[in-house]
């Protein structure tokens, strides 16, 4: 509804007006300036647009102005500096741009300032330090640049500070040491350099420190436990240039989340995590240069949900006892040097909730344990690029998380039970889908995938694998599988990517595969398949012959090999062409005879008629001769072309 529609219902001595979370559209109404006693104005989460009117400065008694989650745009008016009693100013998630007005720093009674998720640019002035009563400052997700002013350290009441997702390039962390009340500090996703040097006892009450996605270098402080008493909301230092080892003192701090991924950290992972046994829910140490064995103490982390150790140089055997990890959802140990077999102790009793297991690109051997078939919540299983042997267990068709149910239709998100909302975007996994290695983040919730490629698996593809009707991607390539493609593969209607290349599969491509209408990537090359390639539905779009290459007995489009059943059609077509050639020959000889006769009679007539007629008849004879010559040349060329085509067909 339009704002002016409610103006008749409002008393002008009103002090509190809350119209948030409605469907109000249009501009801020002009009658608001008449509400001289108004203390709180709330229009949060509507569809208001346009600029904030200059008349907003007339609401001199205003304590709270909440305009977040609308479509406001333009500059913040200078008149907002007249609201000297303002304690809460929330303008987040709009389309404001330009620099933050200087008058804003004169609102010395502000306790909470939220300008996040707009397009403000320019620098933050040192005059910010005038807001000494500020408890919350959030200017994240803008286009601000320059240095983060050290005067922030003078805002001693500050408890929550979020400067993330801007273009700041300089920040002195120890300049905030006087902020003894600060519990949340997020300066992630900027261009900050420098080191993590901090003084003893600095930021002791910090619950969350997020410096990820910057250019911070150097090593982690050895006595990091003296910086803060607890990182109960998390320590996020991923995507920087940190080096050195992980200090043991880090294990002596109660942690809920630890992200040190995508750095240059080396050495072994500490094996002392007793202080975080009941609260540590996320560990991400991926993409470093860590060495050594898997820390046994990880198996005692009762609250662990996500464990990412992929893309390091870890070695040794996989842990056999994860009996305490009842809450685990994601286990990613890919791209390491783990050896030995996959523990048979990984059962439903151990991993009752696990949804992702990635062990790709290690040196694992042995067979695929049948105990994995018990993991009813599993949605991504990646065992590729190892040395696994034996056959694919038939029980693999019992993986309930990969089977569609009436409550989980093919194109809807597969629900991830118990996935916390905070921090989910940082969870990722590299998966090869449609022949391309992709880095899945939030869309992991939409993916159901199995990759057993590049091992030494033998035997036939079990028919039971077709029970996995929820699979979006299946790769069995580069093994030693034999036998036929299961006839019921057409039941796997969610498949978008199927790779069975580089095996020893034989028999025909099942016609039921034409039912895979979602399929967009297919590779059946390097096998012993035979017979015609299906033509219906998706197969009519697979025009690249390489996906069928090196199957010597396959035939049909797009391969050059013609199927035997197509020869009769070719023969009848050839006979039709020959009949057409015969007709063309008759016409050819008829034209020649007609030309000869016409020429002969032209000569005779010329001799018999009068002299004054001869000139006219000679001209006529010449014209007719020219026409006959042209007709003969055209017919000869056409006959030559048909003869060449017929010779080519015989070859």
Give percent above pLDDT 70 in the chain. 78
d(CA 485, CA 464): 12
- On whether the CB atoms of residues 58 and 84 are closer than 8 A, the answer is no
Indicate if the pLDDT at residue 645 is higher than 80: no
Give the pair of three-digit tokens for residue 155. Answer: 């805002």
Per-residue pLDDT at 609: 47
Determine the pLDDT at residue 106: 87
Better pLDDT: 288 or 33 = 288
The alpha carbon of 175 is separated from its chain's Cα centroid by a whole number of angstroms, namely 38
Our CA angle for 445, 190, 267, nearest 5°, is 75
Are the beta carbons of 335 and 310 closer than 8 angstroms?
A: yes
CA–CA gap between residue 140 and residue 113 (Å, rounded): 11
Measured CA to CA, the distance from residue 229 to residue 438 in angstroms comes to: 39
Q: Check pLDDT > 50 for residue 570.
A: no
Mean pLDDT along residues 165-180 = 89
In the chain, the N- to C-terminal Cα span, in Å, equals: 78
Task: Indicate whether 62 pLDDT > 50.
Answer: yes
Contact in structure between 488 and 466 (CB atoms under 8 Å): yes
pLDDT tens digits, residue range 375-404?
999 999 999 999 999 999 999 999 999 998
pLDDT in tens, 588-627: 455 455 554 555 445 544 444 444 545 555 555 555 555 5
- Omega before residue 112 within 30° of 0, cis: no
CA distances for 292 relative to 23, 308, 312, 641, angstroms: 58, 15, 10, 75
CB under 8 Å to 510, separation ≥6 — which residues? 484, 485, 486, 487, 489, 490
pLDDT for 277: 77
Entry field: residues in the chain? 651
pLDDT for residue 438: 52
Q: Is 649 exposed, middle or buried (0-12, 13-18, 19+ CB in 10 A)?
A: exposed
Flag the least confident range among 93-102, 268-277, 570-579: 570-579
The whole-number pLDDT of residue 202 equals 79
Mean pLDDT of all residues in 301-328: 92
CA atoms within 13 A on the CB side of 621: 17
pLDDT of residue 578: 45
CA–CA distance, 299 with 322 (Å, rounded to integer):
5
**What are the tens digits of pLDDT across the range 619-640?**
555 555 555 544 554 454 455 4
Q: Does position 338 have pLDDT exceeding 90, yes or no?
A: yes
Least Cα distance to 24 among 51, 46, 53 occurs for 46
| Mean pLDDT for the chain overall | 84
| Residue carrying the six token digits 């050594």 | 292
- pLDDT exceeds cutoff 50 at 348: yes
Distance CA 480, CA 651 (A): 38
Closest CA to 231 of 186, 195, 291, 265: 186
> How far is Cα 152 from Cα 335, in angstroms, rounded to an integer?
42
């Amino acid at each position: 509804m339009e704002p002016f529609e409610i103006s008749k219902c409002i008393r002008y001595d009103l002090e509190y007006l809350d119209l948030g979370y409605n469907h109000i559209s249009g501009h801020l109404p002009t009658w608001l300036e008449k509400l001289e006693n108004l203390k709180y104005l709330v229009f949060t989460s509507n569809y208001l647009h346009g600029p904030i009117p200059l008349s907003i400065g007339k609401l001199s008694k205003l304590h709270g102005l909440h305009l977040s989650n609308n479509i406001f745009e333009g500059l913040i008016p200078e008149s907002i500096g007249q609201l000297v009693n303002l304690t809460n100013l929330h303008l987040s998630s709009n389309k404001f741009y330009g620099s933050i007005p200087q008058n804003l720093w004169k609102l010395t009674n502000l306790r909470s300032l939220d300008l996040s998720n707009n397009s403000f640019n320019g620098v933050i002035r040192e005059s910010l330090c005038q807001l000494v009563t500020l408890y919350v400052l959030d200017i994240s997700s803008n286009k601000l640049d320059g240095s983060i002013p050290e005067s922030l350290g003078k805002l001693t009441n500050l408890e929550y500070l979020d400067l993330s997702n801007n273009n700041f390039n300089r920040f002195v962390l120890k300049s905030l040491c006087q902020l003894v009340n600060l519990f949340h500090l997020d300066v992630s996703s900027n261009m900050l350099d420098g080191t993590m040097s901090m003084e003893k006892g600095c930021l002791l009450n910090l619950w969350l420190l997020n410096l990820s996605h910057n250019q911070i270098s150097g090593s982690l402080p050895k006595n990091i436990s003296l910086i803060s008493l607890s990182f109960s909301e998390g320590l996020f230092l991923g995507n920087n240039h940190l080096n050195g080892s992980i200090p043991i003192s880090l294990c002596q701090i109660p942690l809920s989340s630890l992200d040190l991924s995508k750095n240059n950290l080396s050495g072994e992972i500490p094996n002392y995590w007793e202080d975080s046994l009941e609260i540590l829910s996320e560990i991400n140490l991926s993409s470093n240069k860590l060495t050594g064995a898997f820390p046994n103490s990880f198996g005692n982390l009762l609250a662990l949900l996500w464990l990412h150790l992929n893309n390091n140089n870890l070695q040794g055997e996989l842990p056999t006892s994860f009996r305490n990890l009842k809450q685990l959802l994601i286990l990613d140990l890919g791209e390491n040097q783990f050896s030995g077999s996959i523990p048979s102790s990984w059962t439903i009793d151990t991993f009752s909730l696990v949804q992702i297991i990635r062990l790709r690109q290690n040196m694992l051997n042995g067979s695929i344990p049948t105990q994995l078939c018990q993991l009813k919540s599993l949605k991504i299983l990646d065992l590729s690029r190892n040395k696994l042997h034996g056959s694919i267990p038939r029980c693999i068709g019992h993986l309930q998380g990969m089977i569609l149910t009436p409550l989980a239709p093919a194109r809807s998100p597969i629900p991830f039970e118990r996935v916390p909302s905070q921090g989910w975007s940082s969870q990722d996994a590299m998966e090869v889908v449609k022949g391309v290695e992709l880095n899945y983040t939030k869309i992991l919730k939409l993916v159901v995938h199995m990759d057993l490629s590049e091992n030494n698996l033998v035997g036939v593809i079990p028919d039971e694998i077709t029970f996995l009707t929820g699979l979006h991607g299946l790769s069995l390539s580069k093994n030693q599988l034999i036998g036929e493609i299961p006839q019921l593969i057409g039941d796997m209607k969610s498949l978008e990517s199927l790779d069975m290349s580089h095996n020893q599969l034989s028999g025909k491509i099942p016609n039921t595969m034409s039912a895979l209408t979602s399929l967009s990537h297919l590779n059946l090359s390097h096998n012993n398949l035979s017979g015609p390639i299906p033509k219906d539905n998706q197969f009519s779009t697979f025009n690249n012959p390489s996906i069928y290459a090196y199957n010597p007995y396959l035939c049909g489009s797009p391969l050059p090999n013609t199927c035997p059943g197509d020869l009769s059609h070719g023969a009848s077509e050839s006979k039709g062409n020959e009949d057409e050639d015969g007709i063309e020959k008759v016409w050819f000889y008829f034209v020649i005879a007609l030309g000869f006769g016409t020429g002969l009679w032209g000569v005779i007539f010329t001799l018999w008629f009068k002299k004054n007629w001869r000139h006219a008849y000679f001209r006529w004879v010449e014209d007719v001769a020219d026409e006959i010559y042209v007709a003969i040349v055209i017919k000869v060329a056409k006959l030559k072309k048909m003869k060449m085509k017929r010779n080519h067909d015989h070859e």
